């Protein structure tokens, strides 16, 4: 079933209302608020972003659209609670994550952060200003006034059940959930809602107080999920955090956050790779997931269907089993809009899996807001971990919820590439990407594996690569993974071998949520096999990372050193 979707921005669309004024800050690239902005200061901390060091607080913030993590909605809420939010945010392309955050600010916490979408002409006019006022549905510039049209839900055709939710028959929490879903449907120009079968919750990391405040408020209102729903990695080892040296207050609050979602009926899976669980979505199945890497993998590799739902909207969808019928839920919304031709370096060998996060990271750069079709990889033999790594890295640089890889992913052969704009990946931009993601030190103190959560195959490979050797006395390997994966590793005797090598397996957390002292305070040199973590590491830990294959990572752990040298296959 196809659903109407208009991808064009209405000329002057006021998504979330309010009165505001502020100095104009233009971001020529989209920005992930999570990992890209410090919610305690409002400063842009993404070291790879052109506006690194600028403050978004109190600004009229312009960007084409957001990118990266679904958790940006929670960061916007925390900024608002801290009185550090932008005065208003203006987009020129469709956007969901910050829009949802603003709606939650407005409807649940009564804090106004206006959201506006403009045509390119009007967007450019605002971008040329120094100061902008928003009042009475008008943007007032120095020599021009732009009239804004409030968003309308009149086009939505709702079911009897939808109306029952809106009338409060399922309680105040469910009513608020359905109201928000309908507003987001209007934002997406959807004409109806669809049923979804599974949910995945992302806003469960205690990156800031807003996530805890929101979850406990919803639990107190009696919120309950209506469909099977899993939950992302959290901020503590749920069962053993008391022994980890974490601050008591932080550990208790992080546990309360997890408990709030479990009390709402969410399965305590605590993994950022729910696609590795036994009950993974099936091809063509409509689901309501958050967590950017999970969404991209589900759409791209499994062929399931889900928008990249923002944090908090994921809960609302799980509470109702309904989502806006828009974007990636339709076959039209999944069509490739740009073709990326990859020329594989002649000397590359398949056992150097660093190739995959580099391809993902560059593909996101080349298609920051559209679904790409990647060609040139048709005859390669790929693993689930290769595609997991690619999808996660893609999500750091693109706002698109999926990609197609010719010959590798289930819907790629149905993608027409005639007439598509063409971008290219070759040895030159692969080198540039390698250097961008390898800003860290040569002396390695910490090797971080498991962003997204490590699979059982990755753990097996690490044991094989160690081959009975131990980590260097000043270097640690820490692997974050799901509890189900640890059970498999225990059954195969892998956990004993890892322990003998001084390698630590950590359940429930992932590197996006780890804080000191689990991240050793004294560690300065960092290495990872994850393009996602290499991208976000500096913003999260104030350390630049090195990126390498699992073999590189194990070698660095054993020797305590990783030379800052290009892989042989990238050397001319």
CA 560 to CA 164: how far, in whole Å? 61
Strand 115-118 versus strand 88-91 pairing type: parallel
Among this protein's residues, is 412 annotated catalytic? no
Single pTM value for the model: 0.89
Q: How many CB atoms lie within 10 A of CB 380?
A: 16
Task: Label residue 547 exposed, middle or buried (CB < 10 Å: 0-12, 13-18, 19+).
Answer: buried
SS (H, E, C) 57-80: CCCEEECCCCCCCCCHHHHHHHHH
What's residue 108's pLDDT? 85
Q: How many CB atoms lie within 10 A of CB 350?
A: 11
Residue 59 exposure: Cα atoms within 13 Å on the Cβ side = 19
Structural contact between residues 532 and 497, judged by C-beta atoms closer than 8 angstroms: no
CA 78 to CA 206: how far, in whole Å? 11
SS (H, E, C) 479-513: EEECHHHHHHHHHCCHHHHHHHCCEEEEECCCCCC
Q: How far is CA 60 from CA 115, 117, 491, in A?
A: 10, 13, 55
pLDDT averages per 10-residue partition of the chain, 572 residues: 43 89 96 92 94 97 89 93 97 91 91 95 96 96 94 92 97 94 92 97 92 95 97 95 92 96 98 97 97 96 96 96 96 97 95 96 96 97 98 95 98 94 98 97 98 98 98 97 97 98 97 92 97 94 96 98 96 86
Which letter does DSSP use for residue 133 in this model? Answer: E
Q: How far is CA 70 from CA 4, 82, 99, 563, in A?
A: 24, 20, 11, 35
CA 387 to CA 392: how far, in whole Å? 8
- Catalytic residue selected from 57, 69, 389, 455: 69
CA 310 to CA 158: how far, in whole Å? 22
What's residue 5's pLDDT? 40
Phi-psi region of 124 (alpha: psi -120 to 50; beta: other; left: phi over 0): alpha
Q: How many CB atoms lie within 10 A of CB 248?
A: 9
Which tokens is 129 given? 């200003």
Structural contact between residues 443 and 525, judged by C-beta atoms closer than 8 angstroms: yes
How much is the CA Rg of the chain, to the nearest whole Å? 23
What's residue 2's pLDDT? 41
């Amino acid at each position: 079933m196809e659903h109407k979707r208009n991808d064009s921005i209405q000329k002057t669309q006021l998504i979330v209302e309010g009165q505001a004024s502020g100095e104009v800050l233009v971001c020529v690239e989209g920005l992930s608020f999570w990992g890209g902005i410090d919610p305690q200061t409002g400063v842009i901390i993404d070291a790879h972003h052109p506006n690194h060091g600028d403050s978004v607080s109190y600004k009229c913030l312009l960007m084409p659209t957001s990118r990266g993590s679904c958790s940006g909605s929670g960061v916007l809420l925390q900024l608002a609670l801290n009185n550090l939010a932008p005065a208003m945010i203006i987009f020129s392309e469709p956007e969901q994550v910050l829009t949802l955050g603003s709606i939650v600010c407005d409807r649940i916490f009564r804090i106004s952060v206006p959201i506006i979408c403009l045509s390119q002409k009007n967007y450019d006019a605002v971008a040329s200003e120094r100061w902008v006022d928003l009042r009475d549905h008008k943007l007032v510039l120095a020599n021009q006034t732009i009239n804004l049209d409030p968003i309308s839900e009149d086009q939505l055709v709702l079911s009897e059940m939808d109306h029952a939710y809106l009338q409060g028959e399922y309680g105040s929490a469910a009513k608020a959930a359905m109201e928000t879903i309908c507003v987001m449907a209007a934002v997406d120009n959807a004409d109806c809602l669809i049923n979804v079968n599974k949910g995945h919750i992302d806003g469960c990391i205690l990156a800031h107080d807003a996530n805890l405040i929101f979850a406990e408020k919803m639990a107190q209102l009696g919120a309950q999920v209506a469909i099977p729903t899993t939950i992302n990695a959290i901020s503590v080892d749920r069962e053993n955090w008391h022994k980890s040296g974490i601050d008591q207050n932080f550990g208790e609050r992080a546990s309360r956050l997890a408990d709030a979602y479990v009390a709402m009926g969410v399965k305590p899976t605590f993994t950022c790779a729910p696609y590795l669980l036994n009950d993974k979505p099936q091809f063509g199945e409509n689901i309501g997931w958050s967590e950017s890497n999970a969404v991209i993998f589900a759409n791209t590799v499994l062929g399931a269907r889900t928008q990249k739902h923002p944090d908090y909207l994921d809960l609302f969808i799980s509470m109702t089993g309904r989502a806006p019928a828009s974007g990636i839920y339709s076959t039209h919304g999944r069509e490739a809009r740009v073709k990326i031709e990859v020329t594989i370096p002649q000397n590359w060998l398949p056992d150097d899996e660093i190739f995959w996060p580099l391809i993902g990271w560059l593909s996101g750069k080349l298609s920051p807001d559209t679904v790409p079709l990647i060609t040139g990889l048709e005859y390669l033999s790929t693993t689930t971990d290769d595609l997991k790594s690619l999808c996660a890295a893609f999500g750091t640089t693109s706002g698109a919820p999926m990609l197609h890889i010719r010959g590798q992913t289930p819907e790629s052969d149905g993608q027409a590439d005639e007439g598509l704009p063409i971008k290219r990946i070759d040895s030159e931009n692969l080198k540039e990407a390698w250097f961008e993601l390898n800003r860290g030190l040569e002396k390695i103190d910490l090797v971080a594996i498991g962003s997204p959560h490590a699979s059982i195959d990755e753990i097996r490979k690490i044991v094989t690569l160690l081959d009975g050797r131990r980590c260097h006395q000043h270097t640690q390997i820490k692997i974050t993974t799901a509890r189900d994966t640890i059970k498999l590793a225990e059954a195969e005797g892998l956990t004993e071998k890892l322990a003998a090598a001084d390698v630590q397996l950590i359940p429930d957390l992932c590197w996006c949520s780890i804080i000191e002292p689990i991240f050793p305070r004294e560690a300065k040199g960092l290495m990872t096999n994850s393009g996602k973590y290499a991208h976000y590491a500096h913003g999260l830990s104030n350390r630049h990372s090195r990126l390498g294959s699992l073999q590189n990572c194990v070698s660095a752990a054993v020797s305590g050193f990783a030379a800052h040298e290009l892989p042989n296959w990238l050397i001319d």
